[in-house]
């Protein structure tokens, strides 16, 4: 098993509750393993297709549209806060709110977080 070095997926494994499946996977198979981390999704998918019996822990959106891969749902309880910070009168607020609204309307947000709206 491997994941992207420094990516959100790695941090989720690393910071999962002690004793949980995700915590165990990270500390038993990735930490100290020279092959436990990759630099990018491109490297990860190339390695995944080359190596048999290999798991790649990455964003739920990464494998979408790839018929040569099967996404498995590895769900664990991860308390997390998701937020974006802008200065009070930022010029980016309007465009950010537009895309955020689009994500809610199309259901992307719910599918990404595995929640029902």
Token pair for residue 66?
């790839």
- Stretch 40-55: mean pLDDT: 84
Is the pTM of the predicted complex or chain greater than 0.75? Answer: no
Dist. CA 32–CA 56, nearest whole Å? 17
Q: Is residue 37 part of a domain?
A: yes
As for how many domains the chain has, the answer is 2
Regarding whether 52 and 87 lie in a shared domain, the answer is: no
CA triplet 22, 28, 29: central angle to 5 degrees? 90
Phi, psi at residue 20, to the nearest 5°? -75, 165
Check whether residue 8 and residue 44 sit in a common domain.
yes
Residues 50 and 95 both lie in one domain = no
Q: Give the pLDDT of residue 75.
A: 59
Report DSSP letters for 57-98, one per residue. Answer: E--TTTTTT-TT-------------------TT-TTHHHHHH
The percent of residues in the chain predicted with pLDDT above 70, rounded, is 68
User: Which of the pair, 73 or 46, is modelled with greater confidence?
Assistant: 46
End position of a domain, from candidates 41, 57, 73:
57
Q: Tens digit of pLDDT for each residue in 7-41?
A: 888 888 888 888 888 888 899 999 999 999 999 88
The answer to whether residue 20 is domain-embedded is: yes
Same domain, 50 and 90: no
Domain region containing 105: 81-117
């Amino acid at each position: 098993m491997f994941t992207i070095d420094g990516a959100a997926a790695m941090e989720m494994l690393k910071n999962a509750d002690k004793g949980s499946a995700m915590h165990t996977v990270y500390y038993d198979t990735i930490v100290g393993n020279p092959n436990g981390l990759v630099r990018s999704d491109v490297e990860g998918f190339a390695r995944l297709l080359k190596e048999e019996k290999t798991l790649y822990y990455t964003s739920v959106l990464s494998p979408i549209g790839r018929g040569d891969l099967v996404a498995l749902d590895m769900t664990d309880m991860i308390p997390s806060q998701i937020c974006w910070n802008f200065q009070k009168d930022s010029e980016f607020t309007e465009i950010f709110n537009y895309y955020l609204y689009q994500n809610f309307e199309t259901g992307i947000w719910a599918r990404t977080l595995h929640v029902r709206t």
